[in-house]
Amino acid sequence: MRIHNFISKPVHSIKGEITVPGDKSISHRSIIFGSIAKGTTIINGFLDGDDCMATLKAFQAMGVTIEGPDEQQVIIYGVGKHGLQKPEKIIDCGNSGTSMRLLAGLLAAQSFDSQLTGDESLLKRPMLRVSKPLTEMGAYITIVDGKPPITIKGGKNLRGIHYIMPEASAQVKSCILLAGLYAEGETRITEIGVSRDHTELMLKNFSYPVHRSDNTLIINSANQCLGTDIYIPGDISSAAFFIVAASIVPGSDILIRNVGINPTRTGIIHILLEMGANITLLDQRQLGEEWVADLRIKYAPLKGINIEANMVPLAIDEFPVIFIAAACAQGKTTLHGASELRFKESDRIAAMVDGLKKLGIHAQALDDGIMIEGGTLHGGIVESRGDHRIAMSFAIAGAVASDPVTIKNCVNVATSFPLFVETAKELQLHIEETVDNVQ
């Protein structure tokens, strides 16, 4: 067995200009809607990481002709809302919770039976949050102990419901919206907090009407998606690692071009600015329905803060690297209201507390968050727990540690940022990938 590790060494400063891969959330959705649209969809900026490729391969398995990715371009020959075919095999979502939860909503409305599975990590993640509303809509879904695999009985006539979200979740909301494309009557979703709105914006891109009344979304099945051209901005979740790196390494000054700044995703910018970071958004512009900008980040000393709970859904994927920033800040940083972090690819609260302690930082896990006392990062060995965002976060920590930091089990970085090490080197970060052969 081959185990991929990172070794990250201290640097004096980072400088330069980079781009980051296309947004993962938008890449998933562009494949889904392009596949069930009438006509051809051309996607530019597609993220060809393992997660989005799992979604792409799922639709190929359901009879959709998809060309690419070729230099981040994908061409989809849509089959329309009712043109999907029964896959010959179980659909493997790999490590991708987005693939599984969104596909569950779509497959619940198809005429054929289907089953969704995934890797060891995905099979531990909670799925009642999607099976519950889908069952209310009339779907027949089987899961065991609230976890995958998901077995879906086809041929069920779905009905529109009014679902009040128990917590902010873009994946659950998107799952219900996808089922709502096929349900009889109106489907209404009332949100209790802000969550990513890429699905709603993507529906507009594909000429499918979705309405919002205050905090309630309304959709019905009377329309069709129409093929279109999609331009995907850089993923702010990938940019986050270098935003933090430039903020904590003295003397740094970098530019990250063409980054998505959807207001439901910019929690990391708000949090770091409150901590004292020097971040400037340049040339803000619209790319389709999404807003993008070039980000200029210069080093600035950070201070600990109490992170407001309303920031949680706006920065849910960026918290691991935000915790690295907190470890380098003066004073204490606390976060509450983030229990969702315990149900990601790993328990990210436990993983970050464990790793920070090994690097000499005082950190404490809370039931729904974390407390970090800023200090001096030391070298050491940390375990990523197979979680791509944990791995990349501690790779950034190594840039300011007193000695090199080794991060174990980093192969899953390929799910979201296949060229992470190469991009880091463009900024003179010293991150190397090594491979251990274990019998």
Q: Tens digits of per-residue pLDDT, 332-361? A: 999 999 988 998 888 999 999 999 999 999
101 is in an annotated binding site: no
83 is in an annotated binding site: no
pLDDT digits (tens, 9 = 90+) for 221-244: 999 999 999 999 999 999 999 999
Strands 140-144 and 15-19: unpaired
User: Percent of the chain having pLDDT more than 70?
Assistant: 99
Among the ranges given (31-35, 166-170, 261-265, 390-394), the one the predictor scored with the smallest mean pLDDT: 166-170
237 is in an annotated binding site: no
Which domains are seen in the chain, by residue range?
2-22+233-437 (3.65.10.10), 24-231 (3.65.10.10)
Judged by DSSP in three states, 64 sits in coil
Report whether pLDDT(438) > 80: no
Task: Please report the pLDDT score of residue 78 as a whole number.
Answer: 98
Q: Provide the CB-side half-sphere exposure for 409 (13 A, CA).
A: 11
Distances (CA, A) of 82 to 101, 155, 260, 273: 20, 12, 32, 47
Q: Which of 23, 294, 317, 347 is catalytic?
A: 317
- Tallying the residues shown for the chain, one arrives at 439
Report whether pLDDT(161) > 80: yes
Containing H/E element for 59? helix 50-61
253 is in an annotated binding site: no
Report whether pLDDT(272) > 70: yes
Name the pTM for this structure. Answer: 0.94
29 is in an annotated binding site: yes
2 is in an annotated binding site: no
pLDDT digits (tens, 9 = 90+) for 378-415: 999 999 999 999 999 999 999 999 999 999 999 889 88
- Which of 393, 295, 406, 376 has the alpha carbon at shortest distance from 341? 393
Walk across the sheet containing 73-79 and list its strands. Answer: 65-70, 73-79, 38-44, 229-231
Are the C-beta atoms of 158 and 183 separated by less than 8 Å? yes
Report whether pLDDT(282) > 90: yes
More confident residue, 201 or 3: 201
10 Å CB burial of residue 360 (0-12, 13-18, 19+) is middle
169 is in an annotated binding site: yes
Average pLDDT over residues 269-278: 99
User: Percent of the chain having pLDDT more than 90?
Assistant: 92
Task: Please report the pLDDT score of residue 168 as a whole number.
Answer: 86
More confident residue, 436 or 232: 232
Report whether pLDDT(439) > 70: no
Task: Please report the pLDDT score of residue 1 as a whole number.
Answer: 60
Within 10 angstroms of residue 42's Cβ, the number of other Cβ atoms is 17
pLDDT digits (tens, 9 = 90+) for 84-133: 999 999 999 999 999 999 999 999 999 999 999 999 989 999 999 999 99
Q: Is 317 annotated as catalytic?
A: yes
